[in-house]
Amino acid sequence: MPLVLLLIIIFIVPEDSLEYMLGAILGGGYGILMVIAFVAILYGIYKFFSDLWNGR
């Protein structure tokens, strides 16, 4: 699911601005931590709603 969202974002955003955005994120010292935090937040939201959907 997160992979699908990532692909949608990649194809919606124009290519040159996406490259600048990725360069800015990964070029910063905290870039890797930001990516990990973003993935963790997405996973947490997914887990929360899947648990809610399953009735736990």
Residue 29 DSSP symbol: T
Mean pLDDT computed over 6-31: 70
At 14 the pLDDT is 66
Distance (Å, rounded) from C-alpha 22 to C-alpha 46? Answer: 24
At 15 the pLDDT is 65
Pick 26 or 48 by higher pLDDT.
48
What global pTM score does this model have? 0.44
DSSP per-residue string spanning 17-53: HHHHHHHHHHHSTTHHHHHHHHHHHHHHHHHHHHHHH
Is the pLDDT at 1 greater than 70, yes or no?
no
Is the pLDDT at 25 greater than 80, yes or no?
no
Instruction: Kindly report, residue by residue over 28-53, the tens digit of the pLDDT.
Output: 666 677 778 888 999 989 988 888 88
For 18, phi then psi, to 5°, come to: -65, -40
